[in-house]
Amino acid sequence: MKAWNRIKLKSIKQIGASGQISLGKEFAGRTVVIDSNEPGIWVIKTAQTIPDGELWLHQAAAAERLDRALTCLDHPPEAADLDALEHHLNAFFAETK
């Protein structure tokens, strides 16, 4: 671990008239989470965000389904008997009428 990683840096910042604080150019464009557990104390942490439309990919059920799908990619496809499939589907739909 580098020595500067072990040093807790403190800096004094002025909150501007619009309520903004500049964290410095090294954080430009980054997303942060600001925790305020008690009045006047803020903990600012850099963060990664997940778009709402992709959030389901990070849930356990989706991860299991994706793992199974990726496992299938490791196996070559088997030959299909389309005549047997057609017969099976015709029989199935005949029963549901």
Q: Tokens standing for 37?
A: 């557990």
Query: Is the pLDDT confidence value at 3 over 70?
Result: no
Q: Cα separation of 84 and 88, whole Å?
A: 6
Whether residue 36 contacts residue 42, with contact meaning beta carbons closer than 8 Å, is answered with: yes
CA 4 → CA 8, 34, 87, distances in Å?
A: 8, 23, 71
Percent of the chain scored above 90 by pLDDT?
51
Query: Is the pLDDT confidence value at 6 over 70?
Result: no
DSSP state of 19: S
Model pLDDT for residues 21-60, shown as the tens digit of each residue: 998 898 999 999 999 999 999 999 999 999 999 998 888 8
